[in-house]
Amino acid sequence: MSNAELTFKDYPFLKELGIEEENEGVYDGEWFGSGEYFTTVNPANNKPIARIRGGTAADYERCIKSMQATTVEWQATPMPKRGELVRAIGQEVQKFIEPLGKLVSLEMGKILVEGRGEVQEFVDICDMAQGMSRTIGGQVLPSERPEHFMLENWNPLGLIGVITAFNFPMAVCGWNAALSLICGNAQIWKGATTTSLCSIAITKIVDRVLKKMNVPPAIFSLICGPGRSIGELLIQDKRLALVSFTGSTNIGTRVSTSVHSRFGRTILELGGNNALIIMDDADIDMAVRSALFAAVGTCGQRCTTCRRLIVHEKVYDEVVDRLTRAYKTIKIGSPLEEGVLCGPLHTQSAVKEYTEGLKRIQSEGGKIIAGGNFLGTNGGNFVEPTIVTIEHDKPIVKEELFVPILYIIKCSSIENAILYNNEVPQGLSSSLFTRNVGNAFKWIGPSGSDCGIVNVNVPTNGAEVGGAFGGEKETGGGRESGGDSWKQYMRRVTSTINYGKSLPLAQGINFS
């Protein structure tokens, strides 16, 4: 493909981010790359944006060697100093929130307000991690032996790998990097190939901060490249103590099997298939607005997208009527255009998933009541957000279609709704709309939702960095962001210190 076919010059904000028509896609403190060139495309018109030279196995090995060379210096850096670096990264990213948000919209396809929001997530987690860098500590434990002292200490893991998905091409890297860096690790990041410009843009910003603060730059290494070969190197590399993977359950199974077979650690953020329940006592206005945003946001390509709307039979007709009317008002178009609510699907293969999914839904008795059409405006991957009525126990309902198709399912009670919520193999996010305090506490309790995120009167999407993010069952069990998620990036040490002159043994054992 010749450079004349690229649309790079149509987007002047790319220059502001240091993106060129041709870009090197590997970084270990220096930019390089010896693999094949590939292009990323704008899903709104399927035209190529810019070219990237990917990495090879030899390039990956160079990155790992560079990371290893940083470990002694970086791990010896006091944690509050590491926190100052992370804060500086967040501040530098904040300066470029507008062009970075536009880049997310251009390359991924989410609307501009969501693109800006994703960059803000990166900034927020840096702020939070900087504060944590002055508060992380272990326990002091009482010893049963006289003149003995016990404590819990946390040390860096060393090297970690981060593999992120196309739908959050910047924020998920930030979730991992901010916490991992304050913990004293070096990371290598493999972003989705189709959003490689996002990966390069963020890394260029981080590069400036690292060098300004005289920090070994290889602690934030990057390798881009098409195909699965680079990802395979990461998951099979025994030098990486932890691999954080965001993506499909199918690939996540492969990652888990490979990493755990070598006794490595994983953080897995996999499939969603999330449900939003509307009870008969709910605020219907708020519930319908929430369902609309949760189902249509990012054109149905969030892991927390609402896939199943479970509605009490007493308000079912009203909810269906309001929601179908609301769907007719959704503005579909270029994600860079202000006022657009729904951009394109990310790839043409996603369009195929949408069209073939609707055929299968209809074959299983589902009925399309809103949307259902491929639009293809300007050669882009545009589809209509779609509502389908279907029975809760149909096989396709238990699968996750990563497109804007919303199932509406009727229920008769809170117990009935909880049963439907829990009967799918995924367990990421869930929401209940109710004014009944009893319903709310049943929902968040041991007999309620089996998901990692259990909301009341808010949508399934829109998580904040202050709370741990992740899910159960086929979602993988990993947790990122808030809480004590930092523990995943460190190794735990229990130390017993004898400051006396005798040697008493535990459990009263006498070995004389």
Q: What is the DSSP string of 107-169?
A: HT---HHHHHHHHHHHHHHHHHHHHHTTT----EE--SSTTEEEEEEEEE--EEEEE--TTST
Q: What is the mean pLDDT of residues 107-127?
A: 98
Q: Are residue 382 and residue 395 in the same domain, yes or no?
A: yes
Instruction: Note whether 214 and 316 are same-domain residues.
Output: no
**Given this model, what pLDDT does residue 224 score?**
98
Q: Bridge partners of 388?
A: 368, 407
Residue with tokens 């003149």: 147
pLDDT at res. 207 = 98
pLDDT at residue number 141: 95
Confidence at residue 1, expressed as pLDDT on a 0 to 100 scale: 43
Q: What is the mean pLDDT of the chain?
A: 96
What's residue 3's pLDDT? 52
> Which pLDDT band holds residue 82 (cuts at 50, 70, 90)?
very high
User: 162 with 254, same domain?
Assistant: yes
In CATH, what number is assigned to the domain containing residue 350?
3.40.309.10
- Clarify whether residues 424 and 296 are in a common domain: yes
Does some domain include residue 503? no
- Residue 87, both tokens: 């804060």
116 in any annotated domain: yes
pLDDT of residue 42: 98
Q: Which of 168, 184, 182 is nearest to 130 (CA)?
A: 182
| pLDDT on residue 348 | 98
Structure tokens at 458: 């808010």
Range of 101's domain? 3-270+476-492
Residue 311 has pLDDT above 60, yes or no: yes
Query: What pLDDT score does 306 carry?
Result: 98
Domain tally for the chain?
2
Q: Is 321 helix (H, G, I), strand (E, B) or coil?
A: helix
Residues 224 and 262 in one domain: yes
Check whether residue 231 and residue 284 sit in a common domain. no
| CATH code, domain with 157 | 3.40.605.10
The H-assigned helical ranges of 387-474 are 414-422, 437-444
Same domain, 293 and 380: yes
Percent above pLDDT 90 for the chain: 96
269 an active-site residue?
Answer: yes
- Confidence band for 262, pLDDT divided at 50, 70 and 90: very high
pLDDT surpassing 60 at residue 406: yes
Per-residue pLDDT tens over the stretch 429-483? 999 999 999 999 999 999 999 999 999 999 999 889 999 999 999 999 999 998 8
Res 4 pLDDT > 70 = no
Q: Which of 24, 107, 269, 400 is catalytic?
A: 269
List, as own/partner pairs, every contact residues 369-378 make where C-beta atoms lie below 8 angstroms and the sequence separation is at least 24, other chains included: 369/320, 369/324, 369/408, 370/323, 370/324, 370/327, 370/328, 371/327, 371/404, 375/332, 376/351, 377/332, 377/333, 378/44, 378/45
pLDDT confidence of 34, banded at 50, 70, 90? very high
Element (H, E) at 47: strand 47-53
